[in-house]
Amino acid sequence: MTDQTICHRCGALLHRGRAELYIIQIRARADPAITDLPDLSPEQIAGEIERLIDEAATQSERELREQVHAELEIILCNACYHTWLENPTG
Ligand SMILES: [Zn+2]
């Protein structure tokens, strides 16, 4: 880890250990409480499973993993941190 980094929002040069930055850690995951599955016949379910297997075969392991779970880290300068805090989903 170097002593310098940049704000991921405004590009300002920042120095670690000088209270110049915040590290935002974001964890996203797919809705774990999906219970409202459509009322399908056994044939439709088999067809859907086949379709999902075909679809999965065309995607990389990373793409499949990111559909379920993703984590990322954002470094922000003090000014950008306070702006982000006021509207984190903006
Ligand atoms: Zn910034």
Per-residue pLDDT tens digits for 30-72: 888 866 667 888 888 888 888 888 888 888 888 887 878 899 9
Between the CA of 24 and the centroid of ligand 1 the distance, in Å, is 13
Task: Give 83 Cα–ligand 1 centroid separation in angstroms.
Answer: 9
* Ligand 1 centroid from CA 63, angstroms: 29
Q: CB of 40 within 8 A of CB of 48? A: yes
DSSP state at residue 3:
S
Tell me the domain boundaries of the chain: 4-27+41-86
Query: Whole-number mean pLDDT of the chain?
Result: 89
pLDDT at 86 over 90: yes
Token pair for residue 85? 């805090």
Confidence at residue 12, expressed as pLDDT on a 0 to 100 scale: 98
| Pairing of β 21-29 and β 13-15 | unpaired
Q: What is the pLDDT of residue 81?
A: 97
pLDDT at res. 79: 97
* Beta strands 21-29; 4-6: pairing state: unpaired
Q: What is the pLDDT of residues 2-19, one digit of tens each?
A: 799 999 999 999 999 999
CA 86 to ligand 1 centroid distance, Å: 14
Tell me 22's DSSP state. Answer: E
Handedness of CA 13, 16, 19, 21 (dihedral sign): positive
Encoded tokens for 27: 């964890």
